[in-house]
Amino acid sequence: MNDVHLSSAPTHRDGSRSGNASDPLVIVSAGDFDAVLRQHRKDTTFHLHPGIYETRGAWAFDQYDFCSLGDGCGLVGVGGSAQTTLRLAHDCECKVATNRGQVAAQKFEMIIAGSRSGRAEKIRVEGLTLDARGGQHAGGAALPTVALHVFASRSTLKDLHVVGIDGQWQGANEGFGILVNNCGDASVKPGGHTIESCRVECLSGAYVTGLYCGVTNPQPNTQVAPSTVHDCHVVAPWAVHSKHAHAAFAANTSTTFTSCSGEGFDRFFFCDTGSIDSIVLKDCRGFFGYCAIDLPGPVGPGNPILHRQNFQVRDCSFTAVHPHADHVILLNAQDGSEGSKTFPVHNISIQGCTVTSDNPGVAFYAVSVKAARTSGVRVSGCTLPANHKLGVWPPTPASSVAVV
């Protein structure tokens, strides 16, 4: 593992620039910062000394499949409140290189780490403020933003403060604060991520998901290493007289969330993309405007879903606030199909949770299930609003859903 030290402080600008801790490389511009990342593509930790740094974004790394941080590499600041800030430059790259030539970017990706097409593991990003607000001014128009997008296994993301995440409902152009996917090499065992002590701040009413640990099972019977998300908090200002920001958290496979919170979103947890298996939420707290746990998902050519199963919620608290519809829901699960393209909805349980609503005049569904192949959906030992209802819609077997 190589270590490269960077500094944006004026006191270091007359040094020999050896890149060690006492004589760091001097970073004056986004061009300087991006150039260093291009020079070291594997097994390198970049140590950012206190200060403000800029990048022109992932689209400026077209020669590396748009991955600004390579396999086994890390970006490490000193932590704390904005002591080390990496921000998207106002002159960030607004064009994406394709086989059809340069095309206008549809969103700004600030940092893409790992490999979209090859092997990547052990990405480390820690102790930084990631400021994506530059994307709201670049190119003459605001675009959705992704602050950190990881394509790798066994990554460590800690002590991150992400700000300025935007997304557009028109065209379903979603923004993300932290987005984790598998790398492009299907032979690499997916998962194994550790995400801790991160805070993501999104724009009010935006089509955004704060933190998505999107580990999927790329092939049948592929093992997925467990991932953990601990002490992470996602916030957005509540919208006024309109729908709120989209979702605080999302995940697909073998991921446990503990001591996390979300506020300012229509949904605390949401996933309509890919299969869901072995998800745990424990000791979490969510304030939601529409649905606490939302698991829809129509099967389509670009969205093969095998199942929604083994989803457990334990000892959490959820509060429905500022609803803008005529009802709110604790758990929604649907197979999204009317014909033969259905999938199992199995073993989904919410236990020992405290659930309240600040508007008793709005209908409250403890569950809303519409799936032909449903079994083992259960809400038990929870404190629920007095006016709660049970929504079991055809063709769901009535005996497969229970609130006790």
pLDDT in tens, 248-282: 999 999 999 999 999 999 999 999 998 999 999 99
The two beta strands, 101-104 and 95-98, are: antiparallel
The pLDDT of residue 224 is above 70: yes
Domain that holds residue 31: 1-270
User: 168 and 251 in one domain?
Assistant: yes
pLDDT band at 37 (very low <50, low <70, confident <90, very high): very high
Whether residue 209 contacts residue 172, with contact meaning beta carbons closer than 8 Å, is answered with no
Whether residue 46 contacts residue 27, with contact meaning beta carbons closer than 8 Å, is answered with no
User: 368 and 318 in one domain?
Assistant: yes
- Dist. CA 32–CA 287, nearest whole Å: 42
Of 247, 270, 293, the one marking the end of a domain is 270
What confidence tens digit (pLDDT) does each residue in 41-69 have? 999 999 999 999 999 999 999 999 999 99
The pLDDT of residue 241 is above 70: yes
What confidence tens digit (pLDDT) does each residue in 163-173 have? 999 999 988 99
Q: How many C-beta atoms surround the C-beta of residue 112 within 10 A?
A: 24
Mean pLDDT, the chain, whole residue set:
92
Of the ranges 5-14, 54-63, 89-98, 377-386, which one carries the lowest mean pLDDT score? 5-14
User: 284 and 232 in one domain?
Assistant: no
Whether residue 402 contacts residue 379, with contact meaning beta carbons closer than 8 Å, is answered with yes
- Dist. CA 253–CA 217, nearest whole Å: 7
Question: Buried b vs exposed e over 256-286: b needs ≥16 C-beta within 10 Å?
Answer: bbbebbbbbbbbbbbbbebbbbbbbbbebbb
Q: Is residue 275 part of a domain?
A: no
Beta bridge partners of residue 2, listed in sequence order: 44
Among 156, 170, 81, which residue's Cα sits nearest to residue 126? 156
Of the ranges 17-21, 36-40, 278-282, which one carries the lowest mean pLDDT score? 17-21
The pLDDT of residue 136 is above 70: no
pLDDT band at 91 (very low <50, low <70, confident <90, very high): confident
User: 346 and 238 in one domain?
Assistant: no
Give the pLDDT mean for 180-184.
95
User: 28 and 114 in one domain?
Assistant: yes
Domain count for the chain = 2
Q: What secondary structure letter does DSSP report for 296?
A: -
